[in-house]
Amino acid sequence: MARRTTLVITAAAVRALTTTPLHDVTPLIRSAPLSTKLGCDVFFKMDCAQPPGSFKLRGIGATVSEAVANGADGVVSSSGGNAGLATAHAARTLGIACTVVLPTTTPESVRRTLERDYGAKVVVEGGVWDEANERAKQLAQESHRPLVHPFEGPTTWTGHATVVAEVDAQLGALGLAMDAIVCCVGGGGLLAGVLEGVGDRDDCVVVAAETVGADSFAKSFAARKPVTIPITSIAKSLGAGTPSPTVLKNALASNRVHPHVVSDAAAVRACVAFADERRVLVEPACGAALACLYGEPPSVLEDRRCVVVEVCGGAVVGVEQMNAWVGELL
């Protein structure tokens, strides 16, 4: 009997794969203690439950799907963080190649996951992200494969916007509608998606959380133009030295964005409080958003009825690392 040794992927199969989102619908869980504390309904949108560990699969999954629909047989990433993990996960799911260029500072656990679990090709280049990114650009050009950006691009933003559509449906089933959403902001891809998802509805504020030393968005927002800062925070997933100029412009024009900056200690304290409440570990980047509820809430949340916290997650953390931060900072 003849055995088929190669799997022939038909155009119809590619279409089906590329029109089915790669991300999961995640739970929306009401927080009883935070609802009591704020005197309104507070919900966690549990994007930490996405397969690669963060919300990034929403937008990056859409971008990798689009690349496949346009004929790409592979993609390149220069992120040693959750964007690289999401890119490799998406490429694996769609059966295309993925090369991730990592700076030498990337934790060994990330490298292992990329290579062993997601089958990505890992190239280590440079001590900082800029050097890795230059090499990634070069590899992308040579191989005629797209470079998947960690936070820029309309397809990535529209993919991230699916989180708001999901929340709307989930709250709608309970007869509720959110009038505030809290998310963190690094380069601004998530914020762009949240703003796109919120659209022009009345009365919904967006709190954009960061940590001191990764607060390039808050500084840029205050200056009304992109500002570059050195990154000193432990919240590395928020560590874009300069936010996306387009996202900054959209945020300023929306009249609904309220930047909020917390200390690294407050972010870590919020991670611990969240782990105690939900038995789930997230990165300090996500802790910045959680700190808006577990810590002193920003005044804009005072008279809200239904607050949603985007629990963006993050896979670049473990119990040992969290314990070390607790020892250093709390």
Ligand X SMILES: *Cc1c(COP(=O)(O)O)cnc(C)c1O
Residues that bind ligand X (CB under 6 A): 54, 56, 81-83, 151, 184-191, 237-238, 240, 283, 285-286, 312-314
**Residue 243 gets which letter from DSSP?**
-
Q: What share of the chain is helix, strand, coil (3-state, %, to 5)?
A: 50, 15, 35
Closer to ligand X by CB, 28 or 289: give it: 289
Beta carbon of residue 310, minimum distance to ligand X (angstroms, whole number): 9
Q: How far is CA 276 from the centre of its chain?
A: 22
Closer to ligand X by CB, 80 or 297: give it: 80
Beta carbon of residue 240, minimum distance to ligand X (angstroms, whole number): 6
Cα(264)–Cα(241) distance, integer angstroms: 17
Of residues 242, 267, 277, the one with CA closest to residue 182: 267
Closer to ligand X by CB, 64 or 238: give it: 238
Beta carbon of residue 73, minimum distance to ligand X (angstroms, whole number): 26
Closer to ligand X by CB, 288 or 307: give it: 288
Strand, coil or helix: 152? coil
In the numeric block, which tokens belong to residue 25? 């619908």
Beta carbon of residue 316, minimum distance to ligand X (angstroms, whole number): 8
DSSP characters over 15-64: HHHHHS-SSPPPPEEE-HHHHHHHTSEEEEE-GGGSTTSBTTHHHHHHHH
Closer to ligand X by CB, 48 or 204: give it: 48
Beta carbon of residue 85, minimum distance to ligand X (angstroms, whole number): 8
